[in-house]
Structure 1
Amino acid sequence: MTAAPDSKLAAHWVPSPNFEPRRDGRVPDTLILHYTGMESCEAARDWLVNVESKVSAHYLVDFAGVITQMVGEAERAWHAGQSFWSGETDLNSASIGIEIHNPGHDFDYPPFPDEQMRAVEALCLDIFSRHAIPRERVLAHSDIAPGRKRDPGERFDWARLARAGIGLWTEPVPLGEDAGLGLGDESEAVAELQRDLKDFGYGVEVTSTYARGTETVVEAFQRHYRQARIDGRADRSTRETLKRLLAIRSGALV
């Protein structure tokens, strides 16, 4: 167990009992961002270090930007839950988890303050100095658990992080008037969308049918990458934004 913070940016070291070794010697190559979803940061911190909660994270960032470390980066924290990304199901072993205090969708979902965002930026960059984390593996909790999780949500400023060199991003294609693809549609266009989402990393089956599973994945994609409208419909804006991100990741588009 780590006896002191890994990050020099951590103002507090409050060890959580909820951790274990990473499986098979896994080295973290993923960064997962969450919101706490609790009304106070103190309650969230107490929950993350409570042995009965069975949850934890490596770091917690409060509204004022004060950083607390609770699990050593070498250890497997319990923050991802049932999840999937790019064929991987044990995201806890693969990742470092940051809890960002915000009451979330159930409590009026306030904006993330500038002081907090500055601290998140600095912490991510500090983690990158110790771990080789590709930009496409900086993910939202909602990315790895669509339909089950919504955090950190559509108010989180992913574009700001990308300007600091954190995460994969493109300016979303503007909204249009097209209805797009939605529940019940069955076509090659649906299959192409599903292939693109699967290639990007989401857990989606290629069936050519736009069922609820596809809709929840599209909602997750929109919540992270096309935040102007979260409706689960794959309009042109959503589909072309996804295409751009795939091209950027492959190096075909800068």
Structure 2
Amino acid sequence: MKIVNHLLFDDNGNQVAFKPTPNKKGPYTPQYLVIHYTAATSASGAINWLTDPTAKASAHLVIARDGKVTQLAPFNIVTWHAGKSTWKGLVGLNQFSIGIEIVNAGRLVKKDAKWICPVDGAEVPADQVVVAAHKNDGISAGWQTYTPQQIDVTQKIADLLVKTYALKDIIGHDDISPIRKSDPGPAFPMTSFRAHAFGTSSVNALKTSATVNIRAGAGASFATLAKPLPQGTVVNGLATNGDWTNVKIPGLYDGKTDLQGWISTKFLVKG
């Protein structure tokens, strides 16, 4: 991928789909990348809404469930994705950040045995749902998972944006508007995503050689943090303490994102 004149081009050198939004202001210099979910299940619906003048909302990119990217405005033009927001002394993050909307239903409601998107009423299949607590309210709920295609393409774009615009950080809408917003939510692997974009992710790739527990400390007496890891689980080694290794599980596992804990080193091999 590359950026030319603030427009995104894919790996084949073709400009990604571009549908200009009228919901924008003038030029600016971005400092942050803000990750959102659309709170609905349709890419076309999200794009139509974000390009509708009556919506008074927009973003720079929309990432569909299949990974297709649509750009709504050049990256150096203010879009209206953040709303009332603050971050590290800045007020109104629209004028300081690039916004990416990922098509995802977000927090779900359960009706009988079905998981439903409360915004568009669509049913989300159970195999696309993780039950987890949001970091801001601690309330356990069902959340639609992000597809591997979405995470992959969004990561590539984020890496490129950080490099091109020397961005200071990648944050969620739930960071800058914690009372109002819950996106991108606990199903999004923000910790490892951010680390990858800034080149701080571990280079010590490991995998489990047997089914093994991940614990809160370096010893068998510490509590387990999740269900046992199956043999072949890929983890990032961070540090060692005696016969134990501190690891992080990238992405989502057992309802937790970027789970970090301790595994007996004898059950780890190079990935």
SS of the equivalent of 1:42 reads: helix
Report the residue type matching 1:131 in the other structure: Y
Alignment partner of 1:147: what SS? coil
CA shift in 2, pair 1:15/1:5, >3 Å: farther
Pairs within 5 Å for 1:22-171: 22=27, 26-106=28-108, 107=117, 109-134=143-168, 137-166=169-198
Structure 1 position 161, deviation (Å): 1.4
The number of equivalent residue pairs is 172
Task: Summarize deviations over 1:134-169 as a string: whole Å, max 9, x none.
Answer: 2xx210000000120000000101244145234988
Higher relative contact order (CA 8 A, sep 6+): 1
Give the match's secondary structure for 2:46.
Answer: helix
The list of structure 1 runs, each at least 4 consecutive aligned residues, that deviate by more than 3 angstroms after superposition, is 166-170, 173-177
Question: 2-side partners of 1:58 and 1:49: how far apart?
Answer: 11
Q: How many angstroms apart in 1 are the aligned matches of 2:55 and 2:155?
A: 28
Distance 2:34 2:65 in 1: 18
CA distances 1:10-61 after superposition (whole Å, capped 9, x unpaired) = 5200100000014xxx411110000000131111111000011000000010
Distance 2:99 2:37 in 1: 10
State the distance in 1 between where 2:200 and 2:176 align: 15
CA distance in structure 1 between the aligned counterparts of 2:163 and 2:256, rounded to whole angstroms: 33
Aligned-partner Cα distance in 2 for 1:40–1:6: 23
**Take 1:80 and 1:167, find their aligned partners in 2: how far apart are those partners?**
26
Match of 1:16 in 2: 21
> How many Å apart are 1:4 and its aligned residue?
7.9
Q: Encode CA deviations 1:75-100: one digit per residue, 9 max, x unaligned.
A: 11000000010111121010000001
| Contact residue 162 and residue 198 of structure 2 kept, 8 A | no
Q: Report deviation, 1:109.
A: 2.7
The AA in structure 2 aligned to 1:152 is: P
2-side partners of 1:89 and 1:169: how far apart? 30
Q: RMSD across aligned C-alpha pairs, in angstroms? A: 2.9
For the pair shown, the structure with the greater C-alpha radius of gyration is: 2
Residues in 1 aligned to 2:180 and 2:171: alpha-carbon distance in whole angstroms: 15
Deviations 1:175-210 (A, max 9, x none): 999xxxxxxxxxxxxxxxxxxxxxxxxxxxxxxxxx
Q: Distance in 2 between matches of 1:42 and 1:4?
A: 26
Is this contact kept in 1: 2:38–2:101, CA < 8 A? yes
The TM-score, its normalising length taken from structure 1, stands at: 0.61
User: Structure 1 169/138 Cα, relative in aligned 2: closer, same or farther at 3 Å?
Assistant: farther
Q: Please tell me whether the aligned partners of residues 6 and 74 of structure 2 are also in contact (alpha carbons under 8 angstroms).
A: yes
Amino acid at match of 1:13: F
- Counterpart of 1:129 in 2: which secondary structure? helix
- Tell me how far apart the structure 1 counterparts of residues 172 and 216 of structure 2 sit (CA, whole Å): 22
Residue by residue over 1:88-128, the C-alpha shift from the partner in whole angstroms, topping out at 9 and shown as x without a partner, is: 11210100000011011142532101111000011111212
Once the two structures are aligned, what percentage of the paired residues are identical? Answer: 29
